[in-house]
Amino acid sequence: MFGPSSTQDDPEPHPIPTSLMFLATVINLPFKDFTLISLGFVDHQFLWVVFDLRFLEVNPNGKVPLAKFDENWISDSDVIVGLIEEKYPHPSLATPPELASVGSKIFPKFVAFLKSKDANDGTEQALLDELNALDEHLKSKGPYVNGKTITAVDLSLAPKLYHLEVALGNFKKWTVPESLTHVRNYMKSFEKTKPAKEEYIVAGWAPKIAHEVVPNYSL
């Protein structure tokens, strides 16, 4: 099964529904990865369509991921995963409401630190504060956000942490501190869900960085 190691029972695979189609490009975004991991976690077979002119016809903004449910095209990863949960509820990806925001501030703090030119502007510490908060949560509630049960919040957070690891490692030579053992173990548990090659992720983030940095693909 495509997904992290889990104590949950493997579900029976679903037949490919003609109403569900995914269009994806080589662009690597954690929001696209969230959707694909969610599909893989429920062992759902889906149709991968190579980028062509139809993509922009149905999706002028060029957003990914893009999914077609019945006759509706949807480009919001949270909405897509919600519909996956609704249509294919076993195994459930539902996250308890009180845990839905766990780790939610990590991604914007990561982006701020990645773009920062000032080592003393506090963006690194802001990211560390959020990672520390996640580490404390996993220490007391782990190994996943909802204990032993993997939910949508994990499948959203894992690719964001992977982008953090790759982008900061390449552009700032920065890694998650070894002292955050629970976060590091959490990231390792999602090894199977890692998306495409690291150089694609680096190339995707490069234009968003104000200063020029030569990517280091040896990470």
Mind listing the domains of the chain with CATH numbers?
21-87 (3.40.30.10), 97-208 (1.20.1050.10)
Strand order across the 66-69 sheet: 48-49, 21-23, 66-69, 72-74
**Higher pLDDT among residues 169 and 77, named by residue:** 169
Tokens (6 digits) for 99? 């845990």
**Percent of the chain having pLDDT more than 90?**
41
H or E element, residue 138 = helix 123-141
For strands 66-69 and 48-49, give the pairing.
unpaired
Confidence of residue 69 (pLDDT cuts 50, 70, 90): confident
**pLDDT, tens digit, for every residue of 145-192?**
999 999 989 988 998 999 999 999 999 999 999 999 999 999 999 887
